Structure 1
Amino acid sequence: MSGGHRRPHPDNGVTRRGLLGLAGLGAASSAGVFGMWKAASRETPLAVSGTPTSTPSAPAPTPAPFTGADPAKLGGTVPFTAGKAMLGSYLGLDGMTYPEAVKLRRGQIGRDQRITHVFYAWEDPLPDRIEGKPKKSVPMVSWRGPKYGEILDGDADDLIAAAARRLRDLDQPALLRWGWEMNGDWYRWGGAKNDQDTEGYVKCFRYLRKIFDDEGAENVSWVWSPNWNSSPRKDWNRIDAYYPGDDFVDWVGISGYNLHRETPETLFDPIYHKYAARRPIMITEVGSKDYGGTTKADWIRQLTAYVEQRPAIGGVVWFDTDTHPSYPEHWRLDSVPDAAAAYREMAGNERFSG
């Protein structure tokens, strides 16, 4: 997710919101740099928001979860717990160190986040500790990628192995979300910037996992995380063309923001219905625009009800920040008091006690 606006895309005429990509955060050993932005590359990534949706669509039948998998083995080393969803966030608040922001949120919602979401550039050392992270919180590392050839030619093997050893040294279960939103045209690791080579993405994902396994990073659960819709909307760029396979994916993630009055059903049901029978689902990035009045709080309550009705959802990660460069939205959960109250209700809901 990033900042800025973009005119309608010529491929399909759908209004898009441009987003400056999340930069790799500085070394996690320094609390002061944890919430700072750092240039990860010279590209200007963008993100899709999609067709405005003002009214909910008719609900589709909810598939029975995990009909094709052993529930006891779901989620890898960050296991899925039936009936429970971990509630977490990417947390970056203006003028606060990360530990200060964690303390503020603990007081506001009455609990700590269960997932600590951090972003790193491809070239950055991945964290071997995260200062200020709540003790029982699971790290989720979103790791940017290069062009596919830079992985598959073997020249990055030492970099990948070093990354694996650092996550291994976290000495706790961790989520790794490599190359997210690959079905968009805004990141250099997306198919659109790699000659429409979706199979190249699959090969990279599997290649990284093999090196991590070889380095003994057995504490890592792998998150495959597309955007909720694809850009461009072409057959070659369909989401399932990027799926590395059940043997390589522990969690299926999804990014989706309420930018044009999209409902949670619009944002998340296509992925849910395609993969919930096979893998636990995690909403890895989510936020809501405030349209005035109680609209943001209402949407948070819609999201709560949505997750309650989808048993395969095992995690929800809010994009809790007001430091997004060049973007007018404050995605932080307390941008208005009633939104903070709705989020506190969600945090206290038994469904989110994972």
Structure 2
Amino acid sequence: MTAAHRAPTRLSRRHVVGGLAALAAVPATVLAVRALTAEQTAAEATSSPGRAAASASARPGPSAGPKAVTKGGGPVPFRPGRAMLGAYLGLEGRSLTESLALRKRQLGRDERIVHVFYDFKDTLPSVIEGLPAKATPMVSWRGCPLSEITSGASDALIARAARRLKRQDRPVLLRWGWEMNGDWYAWSAARNDRDNKAYIKAWQRLHDIFTREKATNVSWVWSPNWNSAPVEPWNTFAALYPGDEYVDWVGVSGYNLHRETPDTLFGPIYRGYAARKPILITEVGSMDRGGRTKADWVTLFAEWVEAHPGIGGVTWFDTDTHPGYAEKWRIDTDAEALAAYKAMAASARFSG
């Protein structure tokens, strides 16, 4: 990640050992089995392995999902029919301001969400470099071993973070302790004695401290990975959900690494939560397998979002600086991919 994203101390490296790294080493058929959470129906469980290996050229059919909510989102409101489109930007040789300017020239529009990452002990930003006037910041704030929060030992640090974000001159999306249903982060249930309740208690404690500090501009984004590792009753979406009163947006991370379709990646969380909360796709990207493979997946993804009205935002993982990855996740790896992304950005659905 570039120096432009650094907090006054240091910015976290997103997935040095994380969701992308874990997924890259696992065959698609295994990933499909791991995706079978308690939230899925029996029919979905039966068909999921086939969908994981399906060609990205298959077009989505009519949405079979629940009736989506038409309100919510907290200080960052959900707008029916519109999806905010933004990105995490980490472009080689460019500051965040320069990266935002490049994407504006290419797309003819500003990012609607600007995604940044911070470690738990970092000083969270009161100002974000180069943020467009109408953009919403999404701060992904790493967690820590959960006892450091549930014991009260981190209360002062959390209160300081709340005061920092309160100083932003606009609403903020806060994504704390993401991908908690994986086994690659210190705050996951898997690394905390399989105690899903500890994660919920930690989340609720953070939320309560922010409330006491009157950080009323913060929208809370609960953001699991698209599949759980391991697949256990204590590690499902439902087992780790903090409760409707503590969540404003339900997020999800998912990448087209093994020819997964958008419905494989995002369908289960949508069907589980879109009737309760607006859905935010917090991390998404696609491998390039030559030809039009990446462009076609971007188009397929845009069509999937169009068919799912509960999606209120998308943040692309737009980078060529990710540690340990030869794959360039940025949207302009070839002219066809950029054109497909530009068409998506120009559509009415993504005008939020």
Give the TM-score range, shorter chain. 0.7 to 0.9
Q: Decide whether aligned partners of structure 1 residues 284 and 189 sit closer, same or farther in structure 2, where only a CA change above 3 A counts.
A: same
Picking from 196, 199, 208, the partner of 2:197 is: 199
**Residue aligning to 2:6:** 26
State the Cα distance separating 1:131 from its structure 2 match. 1.2
2:269 matched residue in structure 1? 271
* Alignment partners' CA distance in 2, 1:256 and 1:89: 14
State the shift of 1:62 in Å.
2.3
User: Residue 246 of structure 2: SS of its match in structure 1?
Assistant: coil
| Cα distance in 2 for residues equivalent to 1:45 and 1:304 | 26
Q: CA-to-partner distance for each residue in 1:22-81, whole Å, 9 max, x for gaps?
A: 9994227xxxx9xx965699x844544323422459766121112xxxx44x00000000
The answer to whether the 8 Å contact 1:25/1:121 transfers is no
CA distance in 1, matches of 2:332, 2:13: 27
Aligned pair partner of 1:62 in 59, 62, 65: 65
Q: Go from structure 1 to structure 2 and tell me whether the alpha carbon gap of 1:58 and 1:171 turns closer, same or farther (over 3 Å shift).
A: closer
Q: Could you say what secondary structure the match of 1:99 adopts?
A: helix
CA offsets 1:110-158 (integer angstroms, 9 cap, x no match):
1000000000000100000001111110000000001110001111111
Q: Which amino acid aligns with 1:54?
A: A
* Secondary structure of the corresponding residue to residue 326 of structure 1: coil
State the percentage of identical aligned residues.
55
1:240, CA displacement in angstroms? Answer: 1.2
Is the Cα–Cα contact under 8 Å of residues 25 and 38 in structure 1 kept in the other structure?
no
SS at match of 1:142: strand
Hey, what's the Cα distance between the residues in 1 that align with 2:94 and 2:159?
33
CA distance 1:39–1:140, shift in 2 (3 Å):
closer
Pairs within 5 Å for 1:270-309: 270-309=268-307
CA displacement, residues 188-247 of structure 1 (integer Å, 9 cap, x when unaligned): 011110010111111111100000010010000000000000001222211211100110
| Secondary structure of 1:287 counterpart | strand
Matching residue of 1:246 = 244
User: Per the alignment, do residues 217 and 337 of structure 1 end up closer, same or farther by CA in structure 2, a change over 3 Å counting?
Assistant: same
Q: What amino acid is aligned across from residue 278 of structure 2 in structure 1?
A: P
Q: CA separation in 2, counterparts of 1:40 and 1:318?
A: 14
Whole-angstrom CA distance in 2 between matches of 1:128 and 1:224: 21
* Counterpart selection for 2:166 from 154, 164, 168: 168
Distance 1:112 1:145 in 2: 30
Aligned to 2:315: 317
Equivalent position amino acid for 2:150 in 1:
L
Counterpart CA distance in 1 for 2:65 and 2:282 is 20
**TM-score when scaled to structure 2?**
0.87
Deviation at 1:329, TM superposition (A): 1.0
Q: Distance in 2 between matches of 1:229 and 1:283?
A: 14
Q: Any idea what SS the aligned residue of 1:134 has?
A: coil
Aligned to 1:117: 115
Q: Mark the CA change 1:38 to 1:242 in structure 2 (over 3 Å): closer, same or farther.
A: closer
Alignment partner of 1:229 is 2:232: no
Change (3 A) 1:40 1:184: closer
**Contact 2:63–2:307 at 8 Å: present in 1 too?**
no
Structure 1 length as normaliser, TM-score? 0.86
**Count of residue pairs brought into register by the alignment:** 322
CA distance in 2 between counterparts of 1:37 and 1:236 reads: 31
Gaps of 5+ in 2: 24-30, 33-51
Q: Is the 8 A contact 1:254 1:284 kept in 2?
A: yes
More helix, by proportion: 2
1:353 and 1:296 mapped to 2: Cα distance?
22
Give the structure 1 partner of residue 86 of structure 2.
88
Note if contact 1:46-1:187 (Cα within 8 Å) is conserved in structure 2: no
1:217 to 211, 215, 228: 215
State the alpha-carbon separation in 2 of the partners of residues 124 and 82 from structure 1: 35
